[in-house]
Amino acid sequence: MLAWTRTAISFAAVGGVVLKKEVIPGLILLALAPTIYVVGRLAYHRQARLKLVTATIVVVAVVALLIALAHS
């Protein structure tokens, strides 16, 4: 459970950094933080969903990184 909390906090932090440069992508990342936390808590007891949630988080993180690097 701590990993999901840490991941949600990380997305909020990255969203705050991106928000300084670009408003829309930053707000999207900030909005994803509570979503990641809730979905992670729900998927904790279902291993098949856990893999899907993990893959989704990785994809969103890569997109956020690309947006941050493109606007640097």
| pLDDT value of position 29 | 83
| pLDDT value of position 19 | 86
Q: How many domains does the chain contain in total?
A: 1
Amino acid identity, residue 5?
A: T
**Domain residues for 45?**
2-70
In the predicted structure, residue 16 carries a pLDDT above the cut 80: yes
- HSE on the CB side for 5, CA within 13 Å? 2
Report CA-CA distances (Å) from 67 to 6, 52, 56.
Answer: 22, 23, 17
Residues 6 or more apart whose CB falls under 8 angstroms from that of 47 comprise: none
| pLDDT value of position 33 | 87
| pLDDT value of position 67 | 81
Q: Could you tell me the pTM of the whole model?
A: 0.59
| pLDDT value of position 43 | 65
CB neighbours (10 Å) of residue 28? 17
